[in-house]
Structure 1
Amino acid sequence: MKLVKKAFLLLLSLVLIVAISACSFGGSNKETIRVSEVTRSIFYAPFYVAISQGFFEDEGIDLELTTTWGGDNTMTSLLSGGADVALVGAETTIYVYAQQATDPPINFAQLTQTDGTFLVSRDQLDSFEWDDLKGSTFLGQRTGGMPQMVGEHVLKQHGINPHSDLNLIQNIDFGNIPSAFASGTGDYVQLFEPQASLFENEGIGHIVASFGTESGNVPYTVFMAKQSYIEKEEEKLIAFTRALTKAQLWVDEQPVDVVAEAIVDFFEDTDVELVAQVVDRYKSQGSYATSPLLQPEAWENLQLIMDEAGELPQQVDYTELVNTSIAESVLK
């Protein structure tokens, strides 16, 4: 009888092990995915939520995250094999494709769907009109980057020629733009969060407009992988995207203070109250994508903005550089 009981318990243990293994991608043996992110930003909140809330772990993914600080560095990391997945602007895939890459990066999941910058005025204004910019000194982003391309696109939409209707400054490094404005350079500046809200809280500047709201949906930040990696590791990327989608919906449903608490550990020396303030601003304007599926209209808007800025090397069809099957598989 004891032998029968032992055999039964052994069989039951094996059944439980098989059942547990079937619940998540990769089972007890975690599958490693190396991700290079272009910068560390509250703009990427759903991604950090997927990490902090264990959504990647639930899918059997051991995520290795590296911040590579800059689009060029991030793309180099991906193309050289230093990363499996890159989190960076979708425009980079067009640049690489135009260079006749044999194994081009393909966009497979969208994270943010608007520009993430804000127009900050040095003076507190009773009201703001875009014409107020004419004749002013405008501290913009670097030439050729998505923030500057979006900025110029929005100015043109409002009848402003950025190169003749204002004094446009573009020769300051990205990391030094906030300090340049704080030290007195410019009447207006284009800033990412949390710097925009921090300046407003400290009385250094005042947010008067959102470039994200003004420019519409655009695949501003996406996850991409080389075509060969997608072909070889599609199931792994489906699991990755499934975890991301859970996080996107979680961020959309949770109060901003709960989201802030979930990601604050990713931002040393940033108060949770400021993180919540930024999350609220991005959520309220729909910057966080609630679906990983990159839409054709957003892709066309991206190319329109690049073309207007004179930075589009060639028109690239949506189907060439966007993989929809991974996101569609998750959304089913």
Structure 2
Amino acid sequence: MRKYTSAWLIAIIILSVLLSGCTRSGGSTKIELGEVTRSVFYAPQYVALANGYFKNEGLDVELRTTAGGDKTMTALLSGAIDIALVGAETSIYVSQQGSDDPVISFADLTQTDGTFLVARKEVQNFKWDSLKGSEFLGQRKGGMPQMAGEFTLKKFGIDPHKDLELIQNVDFANIPAAFISGTGDYVQLFEPQASILEKTGQGHVIASFGTESGKLPYTVYMTKKSYLTEHSEQVQKFTNAIRKAQVWVKDHTPEEIAKTVAPFFKDTDQAILVSSIKRYKEQGTYADSPVLSEDSWNNLLNVMSSAGELKQRIPVTQLVDNTYATKALQSH
């Protein structure tokens, strides 16, 4: 009898250890969230954390910056993170390589490209064709910033690989520093880097790639299909929190948003945060809804096809599950 009792005790201890990886004190469910970079581009996410929307849903979300789309996807596929905030194109790349456990997007966060065209010198009456023959400091090949940038340039009759001296050998994190040090006549930058360069007089924002490239599922929340199946309730709660944050961001001023997300940008001047958020709000970058639309998905396929990165068109229903986003809309 004692032998069986010991076996039960051992089983209970093992089960407790396993469960401890899923829950924390207070009964909240732990979710490991990886973001592709730290940026005010993702302001609604930081609002959800700062305002306690995840906690109100019974979730303990641990955020980490996984620095790059390839590293973020590796972390997701390996199980190092549960949910990834990354460009929707990454799920297509995984699908093109073949996967028994596909990566599914379930909530939209940003609906336009987040980069701006920054010139070294102030430009009056800017026209896109003035870029021809210039030295252009671009982004990583195959990444959404570069593909959306190329899509825009082609829209204005510019072949980025023939009409420009295109530089793509600089790591994402080092692009602003490379431009400041003298590389390139023009550069493609996210906020707050664009506003920082303007404030210091080292660059001038002259156009928006987000405005010109149209609606895109630029940065979305995604996870493996197996995780959706096993943790459906948690994913719904996560999406509910994001939806609350989207509504809050829509209803509040750049100044109010900047104050709320400031703890996530301790080294960034408050005025720069306000300027960055104002730009994104004015061009409709922050998604009003977590639902990923078929039109924006099809535009993504067009952008990838134009960049030569799409093997075949994939219907939105194959890699997107809007069930959670639709339910979040109905509840909030």
**By how many angstroms is 1:258 displaced?**
0.7
Number of residues paired by the alignment? 307
Pairs within 5 Å for 1:71-220: 71-220=69-218
Distance in 1 between residues matched to 2:175 and 2:83, nearest whole Å? 29
Whole-Å separation in 1 of the counterparts to 2:291 and 2:65: 24
Using the alignment, how far apart are the partners of 2:202 and 2:306 within structure 1?
A: 32
- RMSD value over aligned CA atoms? 1.3
Q: Partners in 2 of 1:185 and 1:287 — Cα distance? A: 28
Q: What is the DSSP-based 3-state SS (H/G/I as helix, E as strand, rest coil) of the residue aligned with 1:244?
A: helix
Shift of 1:313: 2.8
Corresponding position of 1:276? 274
* Alpha-carbon contact 1:78-1:84 (below 8 Å) kept: yes
The letter for the 2-side match of 1:161 is: D
Question: Which residue of the partner structure matches residue 314 of structure 2?
Answer: 316
Aligned-pair identity in percent equals: 56
Superposition misfits of 4+ residues, deviation over 3 angstroms:
none
- What is the Cα deviation at residue 143 of structure 1? 1.4
SS at 1:78's partner residue?
helix
* 1:137-178 superposed Cα distances (whole Å, 9 cap, x missing partner): 111112111111111100000011111212211122222221
Structure 1 position 314, deviation (Å)? 2.5
The alignment partner of 1:63 has SS state of strand
Q: 1:246 to 1:159 in 2, by over 3 A?
A: same
2:229 aligned counterpart, secondary structure:
helix
Which consecutive residues of structure 2, in runs of 5 or more, have no partner in the other structure? 1-23
Report the AA paired with residue 309 of structure 1.
Answer: A
Letter of the 1:56 counterpart: F
* Map of 1:264 onto structure 2: 262
How far apart are the structure 2 equivalents of 1:166 and 1:31?
50
Q: Name the larger-Rg structure.
A: 1
CA distance in 2, matches of 1:135, 1:99: 36
Per the alignment, residue 34 of structure 2 pairs with 36
Question: 1 CA distance for matches of 2:288 and 2:25?
Answer: 27
Q: Is the 1:27–1:60 contact (alpha carbons within 8 Å) kept by the matching residues of 2?
A: no
Local SS of the residue matching 1:138: strand
* C-alpha separation in 1, matches of 2:102 and 2:59: 24
TM-score by length of 2: 0.90
Give the drift of 1:98: 1.2
Q: Which runs of 5+ in 1 are unaligned?
A: 1-25
